[in-house]
Amino acid sequence: MKKVVKFGGSSLASARQFKKVGDIIRSDKTRRYVIPSAPGKRNSKDEKVTDMLYACYDAASTGASYKKILERIRSRYMEIIDGLDLNLDHEFDRIEENFVKGIGRDYAASRGEYLNGQIMAAYLGYEFIDAAEVIFFDEEGNFEADSTNQELSERLEHVERAVIPGFYGSMHDGSIKTFSRGGSDITGSIVARAIHADMYENWTDVSGFLVTDPRIVENPAVIETITYKELRELAYMGAGVLHEDAIFPVRKEGIPINIRNTNRPEDKGTLIVESTCRKPRYTITGIAGRKGFCSVNIEKAMMNAEVGFGRKVLQVFENYGISFEHMPSGIDTMSIMLHQDEFEEYEQSVIAGIHRAVHPDAVELESGLALIAVVGRGMKATRGTAGRIFSALAHARINVKMIDQGSSELNIIIGVKDADFEQAIQAIYNIFILADM
Ligand code: ASP
C-alpha cells in the first residue's frame, strides 16, 4: 500500500501545524510521498507566503525596496524551523540574489513550496526531490504529462520515502514554471499517478467537501463519497477545496482522492472515486452555483424549420471568442446563457452579428441571472427529484427562469434571478438534506 499525501498552506502555516502534519504522516507507514504547499495563513488576517514572495520579487526586480518584506518571509520560516537542525541562510542568500537579477515571477512564487519541502524533508528524515527535476512544462508553459510521468516514476521507483514540493516544475531551458494558484493539488495528483498510489490524500483545513457553500447555508453536511464526474460539475459551478485540474492525473489511473482535515484527523473526510456502489446518503450530492450570468433571447417565427439556425447563431459567439454555458430552446425561441463579464464588451457587436446571420424577429438581453447546479448520481432513475426542487422553490416564492437537465441525469441546472440565489440554494438544501436527516 502506498499513499501520496499533500498538505495545503494552512496545514503548514506554523511550527504547531508542522507538528500535527508530522504526527499524521508518522501514524501511517504507507504515507510515503509528501507534497507540501507554501505556508498559508495562520488566521484570517494573515498573509500567504506565496503572495509575499510575489510582492517581494516585484519590488526587488524593479529596484524598489524589498528588504523588509524579505525579512518578513524569512521570519515566517524561522518560526517554523525553530528547534530543527536546519539552516536556511544560504537558501535565502541565493533567493535574494536571483530576485534582484529578475529571474522570473514563477521562480519567486515557487520558493514558498521549495523551502517548505526542504524543511519537511529534514523534519521527517525523508529524501528531498526538487520538483524542477521531475515535473516538466513545454515552451508555451503547458504541463507535459507524459515526460513527467516517465521521469517521476523512474525516479521514485527506488525511493522509499520522499518529499516533493508542490506547485512548480521546470521548462526545457531550466527556468521554473508554476501551475496556476492552488496548484500543489495538481502536483500531488501527478505523483500519485506516477507511483500508482492506492490513495491520494489531500489534507486541508475542512473535513471534506460540503454539500453546499457554508456562507449561504449554516453548517452544511459533509459529502462522504463523490464521483469525479459529480465533482467536476460542482467545481465548475464554483465549489472550492480542490484545484479543478487536480482530478485528471489520478482519474486516468482510477486512484481515489481522500480530502482530510489536518486539524481533525479523526474525521473521515470526503472520498472522491471513479464510481461506487455505495448508496449516497441523500438523493443529491451537492448544490453549487454562481451569479453574474446573462442571456441572449432570440425569437423568430418558424425557427424550428430553419436548418442551420443554431449553428449560425453560435458562430457569431465563436467569432468573438465567447463560450456559452447553456442553450435552452423552444419552437420559435432560443436563449444563450453567458458569463456577463465575458459578454459585456461585445454585446452590441453580437446583437448586430445575430441580426445579420439569422434575421430574427427580436433579440433581447436579460442580465442579473444566477445558475444553480443540483448534482447527484442518486438522481438517476429516482422519480420526483425535479418535482421536489421546483416545489421547494415555489414555496420559497422563487421564480425559475430556466431549467436544464443533462441526459446523464447527473445534474439539474436552474436559472434564477441573482437576488434569489442564496434563498434558492437554502430551499433546495432544506428539502433534500434537512428533510432527509
Ligand atoms: N502556494 C500556492 C498558492 O498559494 C500553491 C498552493 O498552495 O497550492 O497558490
What's the 366 CA to ligand 1 centre distance in angstroms? 37
Gap between the Cα atoms of 115 and 118, Å rounded:
5
Gap between the Cα atoms of 106 and 124, Å rounded:
27
Gap between the Cα atoms of 8 and 38, Å rounded:
8
Q: Which of 49, 73, 113 to mutate to test the pocket of ligand 1 (most atoms within 8 A of CB)?
A: 113
What's the 361 CA to ligand 1 centre distance in angstroms? 50
Contact 202/158 with Cβ under 8 angstroms?
Answer: no
Query: Which atom of ligand 1 has the smallest separation from the CA of 8?
Result: 7
Query: Which atom of ligand 1 has the smallest separation from the CA of 112?
Result: 1
Gap between the Cα atoms of 139 and 171, Å rounded:
6
Query: Which atom of ligand 1 has the smallest separation from the CA of 113?
Result: 1
Gap between the Cα atoms of 334 and 75, Å rounded:
59
How many secondary structure helices (H) and strands (E) does the chain include? 14, 15
pLDDT at residue 241 in the model? 75
Pocket of ligand 1 (CB under 6 A): 9, 37-38, 48, 50, 112, 166-167, 181-184
**Residue 24 phi, psi (nearest 5):** -65, -45
Task: Indicate the SS3 state at residue 119.
Answer: helix
Gap between the Cα atoms of 49 and 112, Å rounded:
6
Query: Which atom of ligand 1 has the smallest separation from the CA of 180?
Result: 9
Residue identifier of the C-alpha nearest atom 6 of ligand 1: 182
Cα 14 vs. chain centroid, distance in angstroms? Answer: 24
How are beta strands 31-36 and 225-227 bridged, if at all? unpaired
pLDDT at residue 423 in the model? 97
**Maximum alpha-carbon separation in the chain:** 79
Gap between the Cα atoms of 150 and 288, Å rounded:
37
pLDDT at residue 408 in the model? 76
Query: Which atom of ligand 1 has the smallest separation from the CA of 51?
Result: 4
What's the 239 CA to ligand 1 centre distance in angstroms? 17
What's the 148 CA to ligand 1 centre distance in angstroms? 20
Provide the residue type at 141 as one letter. Answer: G
- For Cα atoms 19, 25, 28, give the angle at the middle one, nearest 5 degrees: 140
Name, in order, each residue with C-beta under 8 angstroms of 301's C-beta and a sequence gap of 6 or more.
Answer: 332, 361
Gap between the Cα atoms of 342 and 326, Å rounded:
15
What's the 40 CA to ligand 1 centre distance in angstroms? 8
Name, in order, each residue with C-beta under 8 angstroms of 429's C-beta and a sequence gap of 6 or more.
Answer: 211, 212, 217, 220, 287
Query: Which atom of ligand 1 has the smallest separation from the CA of 166?
Result: 8
Query: Which atom of ligand 1 has the smallest separation from the CA of 37?
Result: 7
Q: Which of 10, 34, 37 to mutate to test the pocket of ligand 1 (most atoms within 8 A of CB)?
A: 37
Length of the chain: 437
Which cell goes with 201?
Answer: 490524500
Q: In terms of C-beta density within 10 A (0-12 exposed, 13-18 middle, 19 or more buried), how is residue 229 classed?
A: middle
What's the 435 CA to ligand 1 centre distance in angstroms? 38
Gap between the Cα atoms of 403 and 412, Å rounded:
7
pLDDT at residue 259 in the model? 96
Cα 36 vs. chain centroid, distance in angstroms? Answer: 17
pLDDT tens track of the chain, all 437 residues?
Answer: 999 999 999 999 999 999 999 999 999 999 999 999 999 999 989 999 999 999 999 999 999 999 999 999 999 999 999 878 889 999 999 999 999 999 999 999 999 999 999 999 999 999 999 999 999 999 999 999 999 999 999 999 999 999 999 999 999 999 999 999 999 999 999 999 999 999 999 999 999 999 999 999 999 999 999 999 998 888 877 777 789 899 999 998 999 999 999 999 999 999 999 998 887 888 899 999 999 999 999 999 999 899 999 999 999 999 999 999 989 898 999 999 999 999 999 999 999 999 999 999 999 999 999 999 999 988 887 788 889 999 999 999 999 999 988 777 789 999 999 999 999 999 999 999 987 76
What's the 118 CA to ligand 1 centre distance in angstroms? 16
H helices within 303-376, ranges in order? 309-319, 340-343, 347-358
pLDDT at residue 250 in the model? 95
Provide the residue type at 431 as one letter. Answer: I
What's the 61 CA to ligand 1 centre distance in angstroms? 22
Residue identifier of the C-alpha nearest atom 8 of ligand 1: 182
Gap between the Cα atoms of 134 and 91, Å rounded:
20
3-state helix, strand, coil in the chain (%, to 5): 45, 20, 35
What's the 209 CA to ligand 1 centre distance in angstroms? 19
- Whole-model pTM? 0.87
